[in-house]
A = this chain, B = another copy of it.
């Protein structure tokens, strides 16, 4: 990405875009177009709403954490009525609830959700929810896959998701500044009647330009170039191997935390994008996170809102190798020991290393 900038209206750039389009289709597991936008993931989330819905429409938002709230705010800004399913933090949404809500409110036009909710570490049952929306011609499923695409299976065409959004800075291991959006045929049908204003995030304009291997507005050239390299790596590794890698790192980390007798914050099926544990209450998350940063140079995230000071979150996406995962677990052990917490020292690193060596 540090190479000289090439102009975007050139054959050289167009051939990069052509390759990216093909590779992204593989990663999203779709035969349709995956749009590439110059924005953070939130921009693609806004586009998912503004390109499919109409003013005054009613939608159902799954609020299973911090990012569920974002769907509500976007819909609010565009004059869309929001019905909410609030899920206890650390739990996944129950698909039966979604079916009930849709049955009771036939005016609902879309279900909006997170495939992987980073604030709590859960994985929502996207496949089961897609099975419900897929039956209905008048309801689309809009999925935030920002920490899901490339991390665990989410086959777009096969499941029947209608809009799937991702961003460059998560599984794609790039700096932030690019976002992605796949649209189903059903979503494009919704697009025909959608009357919400959009210009920069006009998906129809983006699709039309993509057809010519370009973008309607000036693309983030250096990031697009970086993307073409990352996608080459992905295609080389293979989607299944990528998914497996995340699953093993996540399983190893959770087993390590359990071996250390720490409570997992994520009660339902966890997202392999990250592992979330409740810090030992005698220590608290704050001092643990501080020690990890200062003594080991390791950044783990704390909790937000109701989970603040209680939990810590370890990411498994990005340039992370098998030894990194053990290193993080060992740093957590050493930090806890330094902070005076009593536990079976070494049990965590041992558990993590065992699972990784047995599975990768």
- The interface of chain A, by Cβ under 8 A from chain B, is 1-2, 5, 7-8, 10, 38-43, 46, 50, 73-74, 77-79, 167, 169, 175-177, 196-202, 216-223, 299
A136 to B219, CA, bound (A): 37
CB <8 Å contact, B39 and A176? no
CB <8 Å contact, B197 and A77? yes
Which has the most chain B C-beta neighbours within 10 Å: A10, A78, A222? Answer: A222
**Residue in chain B with minimal CB distance to A2:** B2
A30 to B297, CA, bound (A): 39
Kindly list the 10 A-B residue pairs having the minimum CB-CB distance in the complex, ordered from nearest.
Answer: A177-B220, A2-B2, A175-B222, A40-B218, A42-B217, A77-B199, A176-B218, A43-B200, A78-B197, A40-B217
Within 8 Å by CB of A8, from B8, B10, B176, B221, lies B176
Q: With A78-B199, A199-B74 in contact, do A222 and B38 touch (Cβ < 8 Å)?
A: no
Within 8 Å by CB of A73, from B2, B7, B199, lies B199
A198 to B82, CA, bound (A): 17
Within 8 Å by CB of A222, from B1, B200, B201, B218, lies B1
A46 to B220, CA, bound (A): 17
CB <8 Å contact, A46 and B222? no
CB <8 Å contact, A38 and B177? yes
Smallest CB separation, A37 vs chain B (Å): 9
Which has the most chain B C-beta neighbours within 10 Å: A41, A50, A74, A218? Answer: A218
Chain B neighbourhood of A41, CB < 8 A: 217-218
- 9 pairs, CB–CB < 8 Å, chain A vs chain B: A1-B2, A38-B40, A38-B177, A42-B217, A46-B199, A77-B202, A78-B197, A175-B220, A177-B221
CB <8 Å contact, B200 and A42? yes
**Residue in chain B with minimal CB distance to A79:** B197
CB <8 Å contact, A177 and B222? yes
Q: With A223-B175, A299-B7 in contact, do A169 and B218 touch (Cβ < 8 Å)?
A: yes
Chain B neighbourhood of A221, CB < 8 A: 169, 175-177
